[in-house]
Amino acid sequence: MKKRPLIPGSADQWNLEHLAGHYDSLRDVEQMAHYSILAGLIKHFKVGRTILDIGCGEGLLLDHVGKEDFKSYLGVDISEVALRNAELRSNKKASFLLADAKSLKLRERFDCIVFNEILYSFPNPLEVIDHYRPLLKKNGCFLTSNFIWSRKITSLINRLNSSYNCRHQVRVSNECGTWVCAIYKR
């Protein structure tokens, strides 16, 4: 039987990548930098009452956000393989949802929406942000982390900064490279 070609960005493609261990390195100490910055921004700007984490993967951000710094967390991912591991982190405050972030509709409002190492996977990253902005509460913010691995990412960060109101931005580097983490007003 002929194999179906993999559609880039499809659940099948992400599931295969998760199964192949492409994202296992996100647990390494070198990755701590950007998770810690995001966790610090959530704490400092006190936006952790209700967190929505788009493309949450295994929910690793939860290992970095202080238990007292958030009240509820919803992680969304297209990959059931990633969510199988994420479920190990689910508890009274944290839950996970299998869905395609590009089309997901939620009724709930959030204090903080996180796009951690996911925006560059979307053909139109700003469209995805604009899809979620109405879900932010009045003083809500969205957070981004983007690893600089090509000029495309630098231009994405420039577009974010010229399209939205940035409250604070941090560049963090180590031997793996540089991440730009930022918090934007609704």
Ligand X SMILES: C[S@@+](CC[C@H](N)C(=O)[O-])C[C@H]1O[C@@H](n2cnc3c(N)ncnc32)[C@H](O)[C@@H]1O
Write out the residues near ligand X by the rule CB under 6 A: 9, 14, 23, 26, 55-57, 60, 76-79, 82, 100-102, 116-118, 121
Closer residue to ligand X, CB minimum distance, 14 or 96: 14
CB of 26 to ligand X, least distance (A): 5
Considering the complex, what minimum distance in angstroms separates the CB of residue 172 from ligand X?
14
As to burial, measured by CB atoms within 10 angstroms (0-12 exposed, 13-18 middle, 19+ buried), residue 66 is: exposed
Nearest residue (CB) to ligand X, 10 versus 139: 10
- Whether the Cβ atoms of residue 166 and residue 143 lie closer than 8 Å to each other: no
Residues 6+ apart with CB under 8 A from 9: 121, 122, 123
- Nearest to ligand X of 9, 40 (CB atom): 9
The least distance separating ligand X from the CB of residue 11, rounded to whole angstroms, comes to 8
Q: How many CB atoms lie within 10 A of CB 93?
A: 12
Q: Which is nearer to ligand X, 91 or 139 (CB)?
A: 91
Terminal alpha carbon distance of the chain = 50
CA-CA distance, 23 to 53, in Å (whole number)? Answer: 17
Task: Determine the residue type at 15.
Answer: N
Closest distance to ligand X from the beta carbon of 16 (Å): 10
For ligand X, which is the closer residue by CB, 15 or 72? 15
Least distance in angstroms from the C-beta of 37 to ligand X: 12
Residue with tokens 């647990």: 27
Residue 44 main-chain phi, psi, to 5 deg = -60, -45
| Cβ(148)–Cβ(171) below 8 Å | no
